[in-house]
A = this chain, B = another copy of it.
Amino acid sequence: MINKLADKIRKTGAPIVVGLDPTMKFVPEHIQKRAFAEFGETTKGAAEAVWQYNKAIVDNIYDLIPAVKPQIAMYEQFGIEGLIAFQKTVEYCKQKGLIVIGDVKRGDIGSTSEAYAVGHLGQVKVGSTMCRGFDEDFVTVNPYLGSDGVKPFIKVCQEEKKGIFVLVKTSNPSSGELQDRLVRGTAPDGGTAGADRPLYELVGEQVAKWGAECMGDSYSYVGAVVGATYPEQGKVLRKIMPKAFILVPGYGAQGGKGADLVHFFNEDGLGAIVNSSRGIIAAYQQEQYSKYGAENFADASRAAVLAMKEDIAQALSARG
């Protein structure tokens, strides 16, 4: 799947993933009204609105991009009905030829992480039958519990040729509270003390180590999440994890710009995929795209994808 991701980025010329994170305030009135007329102001009504909204956007942009990243929290907030919309979105995007990165940020201990891994990437045994749950292509994983919590995902990735992105340095303002903490240095062999380093660097080293166990052609099935809002850290992490694809959130609405992104990429122009969520899916609410109007929200999304593609391409060509 990591090879497929690299291929699709080359073909589309767009190292872009669109975050399908549909909060109700993004969903145009006319879609909400239609869904509520059918299912009432219920979680089922909300889920229907979200699904119709996603579908229209995906139909309008699927040919431009390699991947989408539905954020499961935005569906889980509506309980079971929301998760049914999540599943429909995953299936539909895969039918459209898109790679689906489930932004689930799961992570637990041993057998529990295994359950998440099979539920999202693999197959679960029921009697003598193997069944699939959500069946995304990639998921995001939280590393706070250590290798115990990550290795079950890697095992399933190896079996299924799928992948994960481990949270290393997240895009949010308070990510530094734990992730930037300077950790007393140890040499790579765990022996004599080296220099103090921030925690995210250690996590980055772990990602490189885990990733070595499951390589695609040029990149590993084990990638990393590093926020566009921290370009300097991205530069360092790019070197620590040369074979890891970096999923880069924080572009656009969170403040990251094209020029901030260049250090996340390798010389081959690959190695990073930049996420934008509300910048694309709620483009119609921005002044820049207001001419489209709420009725044509999906056209605004298409225009925003094209602009983002251009912004990144310019930044990459400017680095020479």
A241 close to chain B: CB less than 8 A: no
Please encode chain A, from 100 to 137, with 1 for each CB lying within 8 Å of some chain B CB and 0 for all others. 00000111111111011011100011111101111000
A235 vs chain B, min Cβ distance (A): 21
Contact of A202 among B71, B133, B172, B178 (CB under 8 A): B178
Given contacts A73-B108, A184-B184, 16 further A-B contacts (CB under 8 A): A71-B108, A73-B119, A77-B118, A77-B119, A78-B119, A79-B131, A80-B87, A80-B133, A105-B107, A109-B172, A143-B178, A144-B178, A146-B175, A147-B174, A183-B183, A183-B199
Select A178's contact among B87, B126, B174, B203, beta carbons within 8 Å. Answer: B203
Residue numbers in B under 8 Å from A147 (CB-CB): 174, 177
Number of interface residues of A (CB under 8 A): 74
User: Contact partner of A132 among B79, B118, B128, B182, CB < 8 A?
Assistant: B79
Complex contact B74–A110 (CB within 8 A): no
Say which residue of B79, B105, B128, B146 sits within 8 Å of A179 (CB atoms).
Answer: B146
Q: Kindly supply a per-residue 1/0 record for chain A positions 40-66, scoring 1 wherever the CB is within 8 Å of any chain B CB and 0 otherwise.
A: 011101100000000000000000000
Chain B residue contacts of A82, Cβ below 8 A: 119, 133
Whether A260 sits at the interface, judged by CB under 8 Å, is no
Q: Closest residue to A278 on the B side, CB-wise?
A: B111
Within the assembled complex, what's the spacing in Å between the Cα atoms of A176 and B143?
11
Residues in B neighbouring A111, C-beta threshold 8 A? 23
The 4 closest A-B pairs by CB, nearest first: A79-B133, A146-B174, A146-B177, A41-B127
B148 A172 Cβ-Cβ under 8 A = yes
User: Does A320 have its Cβ within 8 Å of any Cβ on chain B?
Assistant: no
Closest to A170 in B: B145
| A116 partner, pick from B73, B119, B134, B174, beta carbons under 8 A | B73
Instruction: Contact check, A115 vs B41: say whether CB atoms are below 8 A apart.
Output: no
The answer for the CA separation of A68 and B219 in the assembled complex, in Å, is: 43
- In the complex, what residue of chain B is closest to A120 when comparing beta carbons? B76
Evaluate contact between A182 and B184: CB separation under 8 angstroms.
yes
Query: Do the beta carbons of B84 and A41 come within 8 Å of each other?
Result: no
Query: Can you sample 26 A-B contacts with CB below 8 Å?
Result: A23-B111, A71-B112, A71-B115, A73-B113, A74-B115, A76-B116, A76-B119, A77-B116, A77-B124, A78-B119, A78-B133, A79-B87, A79-B134, A82-B133, A83-B83, A109-B172, A110-B172, A143-B144, A145-B170, A145-B172, A146-B177, A148-B175, A181-B184, A181-B199, A184-B184, A184-B196
Is B134 touching A148 in the complex (CB atoms < 8 A)?
no
